[in-house]
Amino acid sequence: MSETRDGERIAKVIARAGVASRRDAEKLIAEGRVAVDGKVLSSPAYNVVPGQTVTVNGKPLPEAEPSRLWLYHKPKGLVTSHRDPQGRTTVFASLPASLPRVISVGRLDYNSEGLLLLTNDGEIARRLELPSTGWLRRYRVRVHGAPAQTVLDRLDQGITVDGIAYGSIKATVDKVQGSNAWLTMTLREGKNREIRKVLEFFGMPVSRLIRVAYGPFQLGQLEEGAVREVTGKVLREQLGIKKPEKADKPDADKPKPAPEKPAREKPAREKPAAARPAAKPKPRTGNADRRR
């Protein structure tokens, strides 16, 4: 991402380096863990210009790598955080060791499962989490009970629960099995435990919640616990990220052009057989010649 003449906000620089999301970067600054050219910052209202050295916890900020994005099928029973006060296993402790340091795009709570996006770019995470991005999040939800049409209509109009206003939630009933029902629910914002809270408000506790899509990215047949990277082409198409430019090599490193091959001379064309002089016939030898 290009920098303005006055530089970039410190939190954005930290997020772009993949160290933390912009929100978490602001927390690091408030805790006095971020410094620029050796001076500890106390406010995120600071612009970094080229040539300055940023450190987090005393370590220089790593150079920004190309933006990358992964799809992860989160199993039930994992916490979407780097540390858990209760000592529960986290998503990040369960990822393959081959992955670089990543942060999640939004969260799925401990008992929820399904598609979780992971990225090495905190700025991408922030962009994808904003409601203004307009990306729909789709879930399959199993509840105890079968919602009436009046309930579905109220969800569509938006609802306030315990003083928290929730936006429109599109919900359809897919299947009713005895005292349970499977719903497909689609929303744009995704506040903390939003689906569970609004359905419990209507007396329908959630027994299973699976996120199956986040914007254009689908869970599909990705196996539980598996990770798949989104290709650079798809990432650029969906997020408008420019392809990183390759630096030009010095002249000495550039391959020298192959010497031009001299033009091959065309062989002289043979004269037609009719134009050739006739060959002289060889003299015939008889028995008399052999007796000599």
Q: Of 109, 174, 248, 251, which residue is the catalytic one?
A: 109
On whether both 117 and 222 belong to a single domain, the answer is yes
91 and 33, same domain (yes or no): no
Band of residue 245 on the pLDDT scale cut at 50, 70, 90: low
Residues 12 and 156 placed together within one structural domain of the fold: no
Residue 169 lies in a domain: yes
Are 47 and 164 part of one and the same domain? no
Do both 44 and 97 map to the same domain?
no
Mean pLDDT of 150-154: 93
Q: Which residues are bridge partners to 74 per DSSP?
A: 114
pLDDT class for 292, splitting at 50, 70, 90? very low
Q: Alpha carbon of 148 to those of 159, 172, 193, 260: distances in Å?
A: 16, 10, 22, 80
Whether 102 and 157 share a structural domain: yes
Number of domains in the chain: 2
**97 and 234 housed in the same domain:** yes
Residue 206 lies in a domain: yes
pLDDT score recorded for residue 252: 40
Instruction: Give the domain-ending residue among 239, 255, 278.
Output: 239
Exposed, middle or buried: residue 268 (CB in 10 Å: 0-12, 13-18, 19+)? exposed
* Claim to verify: residue 159 and residue 44 sit in the same structural domain: no
**Residue keyed to tokens 């969800």:** 155
The answer on pLDDT for 272 being more than 60 is no
CB distance 139 to 184 below 8 Å: yes
Residue that wins the pLDDT comparison between 59 and 126: 59
pTM here is: 0.70
CATH code for the domain of 111? 3.30.2350.10
Q: Compute the distance between CA of residue 183 and CA of residue 210 in angstroms, rounded to an integer.
A: 11
Q: Is the pLDDT of residue 244 over 90?
A: no
User: What pLDDT is stored for residue 161 in this prediction?
Assistant: 94
Tokens of 74: 């989160």
Q: Please choose, from the candidates 121, 84, 81, the residue with its C-alpha nearest in 3D space to the C-alpha of residue 100.
A: 121
- Average pLDDT over the chain reads 83
Give the confidence band of 242 by pLDDT, cuts at 50, 70, 90. low
Q: Residue 144, exposed/middle/buried by CB under 10 A (0-12, 13-18, 19+)?
A: middle
Asked whether residue 183 is assigned to any structural domain, the reply reads yes
Last residue of a domain, one of 32, 60, 88: 60
Catalytic residue status for 109: yes
49/181 same-domain check? no
CA angle in degrees (0–180, nearest 5) for 259-265-269: 160
**What is the domain range of residue 224?**
69-239
Q: For 255, phi and psi rounded to 5 degrees?
A: -65, 135
Is there a single domain that holds both residue 54 and residue 77? no
Is 35 inside any structural domain? yes
User: In this structure, is residue 75 part of a structural domain?
Assistant: yes
Domain-located, residue 41: yes
Is residue 268 a part of any domain in this protein? Answer: no
189 lies in some domain: yes
Q: What is the CATH number of the domain that holds 48?
A: 3.10.290.10
What is the side-by-side order of every strand in the sheet holding 39-40?
39-40, 34-36, 54-56, 59-60
**Is residue 56 located within the same domain as residue 32?**
yes
Tokens, residue 199: 């359905």
Residues 146, 165 within the same domain = yes
How many Å apart are CA 173 and CA 167, to the nearest integer? 19
Domain boundary (239, 265, 287) is at 239
Counted residue by residue, the chain has a size of: 292
